[in-house]
A and B are shown apart, each in its own frame.
Chain A
């Protein structure tokens, strides 16, 4: 069979969706596909473009992938633009002079940012915000700039403003209309958004008509407005709307709209039936759709039509939910209440800076539209009311009034949603699709996300999806079992409370009273940790010893060959020359591999079990203490030198770090805890990546909580600012004890925070406002732990019973012959299996 020659102009988000849909349809082999991609990169996620300035790389944003496309058998030409269509010959020509025949042509050329033709708009450092190349140009220009201005206060303009602030520029937004986001918001919503954005130090100028851009006096440019005012700025970003890229249609006489856009029918065909147009370049029913979801629907319709299907495009909902500079903003349906007879409800909370509006039908039965600024949790629910014409409750305002904990049920039960209800518009996933995914074996939220892609686009639907999945799982009789393990029908939090309330001091007692069997490697260490958090007894007592992971049992970290590492505490990373010398001497005497850790201290590796007590005796005699590198407990408090030495430091960060490390050392928790203290905002101690992070300010200390590095990095949240030392410590006491009380086993503070209902605000209420009346108890519990601190190694050295286990064989003084080292870079390392075989004959060198 002769293959259909299919040519696609444009490989943006919608162009990519088209290819993906075609590949999924399993009909690719009927086509001979060539894709022209003007940009030097294959399709990437433009929706998350701004993430490029907050750490995402081009690779992170990539959607298209050369290997994938190759495996689908496509010819993809990057950096090549289609310049002409010859409809009579059915061929296209490119800027590289290539001509190619087509049977079917798809235009997915997107749109371009509109730049108002103001005199001076083409000066250097006048840029736009659409492609990764644009972003590179912006970043380069920002290097020599201190002030940046965005022209346009719409959705994209505010995204661009965020980017400028991320680049460290003093940012202005200049808007022609009287309010921000004029398309999506009304005056009240726009005003609230403005207030919130100005609080983030972005200056907003509305009703400003730029007439001329020329040389500035302090800055590179001066913008002159119609009202006579001027604004100086080094860099200008135009974000004054988008225009469809319909130049190919104009050139080849396809029908285009009065104000641009390639006219398409319900099958996404242009006025020439062999040519399709999809995405932002297409005009359907006199409408351009500047969002990705409608474009994706068009892609699916075009594929369907090309492969003989009957899908049709019948318009799309333009509701949106976004986070702009950290502010939740949502606009649903007829937000401006243009429907005849429509009525509004509004709710304004000036203190919390929340604005909400509902637009309902004349009979108050159905929801027509809504605006949410400052708090948009109910977006998914409201959208479903609107899209599915679900009957509103008797008092529709209950949907926007804050839930004060009385019985009013404001949420829409997911059970009420019809099967066809679209849950995720980005990926067009309906309730039926989610149920089908569960029927076909998905059994968690993550599975459903992976299987359907729901909630992996803009993320606006994730709360609703979570509700739906949980509900459906419950319906299927899956109860999400949160029991610790088969031996205890309790969660970790339950067990913690049981231990506290009943004063249980041993695992055997806990197992007798509340569990069964012998315990296991899950509940034993969890119970060990709880007992330690509560009572802080020596971990190697006869009762406690069988609960400890091997690292805790031997108070050292086991390495791959069964040897251990030794990490003494070096509070705040500060160490005297004498102590450094001791570390060096010990390393030399026992031939240990020495390394500076990522936690500002020294790790000595390769100690055999029987050597640990001797080594620790030397260290303790020299004034060291255990570093708890093995425990789910406080690890290190990293510090920078701070005001003592650093010319920028505003407070004594090292001093505070040392005090904090000494206060919380030995505290056992559901997982390890790390702190850092920086002496100024330059943040050399990386405090924002720690469970507890502290940064000195001119007026005190800023406290960040629940950050972490590791597998899934998370920046800490700013919890409170400008604290004095005493308040700082009180807050840390409470946060940590509340974490110990309520976290799951092996849950870092970051995950704990992310799973906490109410999040940061809730934690603030508990810790600062004492909303649970718990603070006295939390502080007292911490005081007990602090008061009962002991260096576990010192206690062990004084306890002959505990020392008994520090030998490899119970019945021989021989060392473990399986431990073999070789030398590398003048230090030891474990031998590989091959090296071991090679030196098997040699007796190992013993260090006396």
Chain B
């Protein structure tokens, strides 16, 4: 475990798309960012879809299932929890999630 994580500014709040995703590059890692309007919150998870090995999770549909907010992979439709990265179909294929927030109009990820 590293402890030298920092809140890293990624893009402007205006770049976010409500109830949908975009992708950002942080130190060579592709990160999918989602803005959920009802929660007024931003979430960050890996962009790499473990099932298809394609960098596409930012292009999935978002939704909720039993209170959990998820993104559905656009390729084979598995669901990943936006808060934890947990894969609802197959725990072993869960993805990384990072804390994210909006500060002074900037989207920041604790990376």
A residues with CB within 8 A of B: 486-487, 508, 517-525, 542, 545-546, 549-551, 553-554, 558, 560-562, 804-805, 808-812, 814, 816, 818, 833
Contacts and interface: CB of A to CB of B under 8 A. Distances in A.
A546 B18 contact: yes
Contacts of A522: 63
Given A521-B72, A521-B77, A562-B56, A811 B64 contact: no
A212 to B, nearest CB: 70
A551 B59 CA distance: 9
A561 B62 contact: no
Contact of A810 (B24, B55, B65, B75): B24
Contacts of B77: 521
A519 B10 contact: no
B61 A560 contact: no
A629 to B, nearest CB: 16
B74 A524 contact: no
Contacts of A809: 23-25, 30
Contacts of A508: 37
B19 A518 contact: yes
Among A810, A814, A816, chain B packs the most CB atoms within 10 A around the CB of A810
Given A810-B15, A810-B22, A812-B25, A518 B75 contact: no
B99 to A, nearest CB: 18
B55 A805 contact: no
Interface string B23-37: 111000010010011
A550 B64 contact: no
Interface of B: 10-11, 15, 17-20, 22-25, 30, 33, 36-38, 48, 52-56, 59-67, 69-70, 72, 74-75, 77, 79
A833 B61 CA distance: 26
B63 A519 contact: yes
Contact of A520 (B38, B48, B67, B72): B72
A531 to B, nearest CB: 15
Contact of B65 (A520, A542, A805): A520
Contacts of B56: 550, 558, 562
A521 B11 contact: no
A519 B61 CA distance: 10
Among A487, A508, A520, A546, chain B packs the most CB atoms within 10 A around the CB of A546
A811 B65 contact: no
B88 to A, nearest CB: 11
Please name the 5 residue pairs, one residue from A and one from B, whose CB atoms are nearest each other, closest first.
A520-B63, A550-B74, A562-B54, A546-B19, A518-B64
B72 to A, nearest CB: 4
Nearest to A809: B25
Given A520-B63, A546-B18, 6 more contacts: A486-B65, A487-B63, A549-B74, A562-B75, A810-B22, A818-B53
Contacts of A562: 52, 54-56, 75
Given A520-B64, A818-B54, A545 B74 contact: no
A833 B50 CA distance: 13
Contacts of A523: 63
Contacts of B55: 562, 808, 816, 818
A348 B66 CA distance: 58
Contacts of B62: 518, 546
Among B22, B61, B70, B79, chain A packs the most CB atoms within 10 A around the CB of B61
